[in-house]
Amino acid sequence: MLDGRLDDEQVSASTVRRLFRDAGLPRLPRRRQYDPAARRRWQAERAGQLWHADVCHGPILTLDGQRTPLRIHAILDDASRYVVALMACSTEREIEMLELFSRALRRFGAPGTLYLDNGPTYTGDMLATACSRLRVSLVHARPYDPQARGKMERFWRTLREGCLDHIGQVGRLHDVQVRLLAWLDAHYHRAPHGGLMGSAPNEVWAERTLRALDEAELQTALTAHGRRRVRRDGTLSVGGVDWETDLRFLAGRMVRIERCLLEPQAPPVLVHEEKRHPLRYVDPVANGKRRERHKGFQPKPGIDTVAFDPATVLLDRVFGRSSREAS
């Protein structure tokens, strides 16, 4: 006790926490001590060299009578703070990030580096494969280090204060998208930015340097390949969605599936004997109305028009047996 140390179980943990609170002492996280000297402001050398990407959680919207979460995906250039792509969605999956990334690549070209966090939206195999094919360095921030993503966090704050908090009533996600893009073009990209010594993002972005990409290179880089087993009913799962094919003879076999993420709304393609067969969504209601006939099947006259009536069928069976016994 005289040397400043306490014996085990002499003071409870709650008492120590109360003494710390009363003395106004800070409570630092255990996982990593913050060192202000190790944190320095940094910036890419030129526009187009480094892109950030992140997702902002917006308010809950009421669309078609249903509560729908708003998720805003954006890609921001580091040196100019210019937003190269932005999209309003209701989910935050890798497929949305790939669609947004492909839009930016088509419009401006390929950056040198893509800087992301460690969420599942940005750690998928397809994104890593696409960046490798396009020779774009993929870098993830250290976990539990939000300060490393300060430029994106500052942009989200500006977006909320300037537009998102005043979005009002909307009927579709498209309405949100239009308002966000209008705010970017009319206000954000034209306004002087504190991090750019008073220059506007579009002024710095005008001096960008990016590597141009042709359509064939994009098509190859953003085409996913995989193998799936066809079920007995001719269906298979791709991206968590059930699809079906007319090639029923492939049931039980492993097949090759391709999907180009430049057109995320287009269905996947089944490749068989060097031929491409587009898949279609499984529609259980439509399949329930479809009548498939095997080759050589000839229905008996009237068999399809007899209504199902168990009581009548049972009486017919009884009377039929009685008439045979009587004969």
HEC profile for 160-201?
Answer: HHHCHHHCCCCCCHHHHHHHHHHHHHHHHCCCCCHHHCCCCH
Q: Which of 29-38, 131-140, 181-190, 281-290 has the lowest mean pLDDT?
A: 29-38
pTM for the whole thing? 0.69
Give Cα 33 to chain centroid, integer Å. 33
Count other Cβ atoms within 10 Å, centred on residue 58.
21
Pick from 130, 132, 63: nearest CA to 95: 130
- pLDDT band for 142, please (50, 70, 90 cuts): confident
Could you tell me what percent of the chain has a pLDDT over 70? 81
CATH 3.30.420.10 fits 50-214, yes or no: yes
Q: What is the pLDDT of residues 151-204, one digit of tens each?
A: 999 999 999 999 998 888 888 999 999 999 999 999 999 999 988 988 999 999
Q: Quick check: 259 and 238 in contact, CB under 8 A? A: yes
Q: How confident is the model at residue 3 (pLDDT cuts 50, 70, 90)?
A: low
Domain boundaries, the chain: 50-214, 222-288
- The secondary structure of 50-83 as a DSSP string is EEEEEEEEEEEEEETTEEEEEEEEEEEETTT--E
Q: DSSP secondary-structure letter at 149?
A: G
For residue 20, what pLDDT is reported? 78
Amino acid at the residue 83: V
Task: Tell me how far apart the alpha carbons of residues 79 and 206 are, in angstroms, rounded to a whole number.
Answer: 11
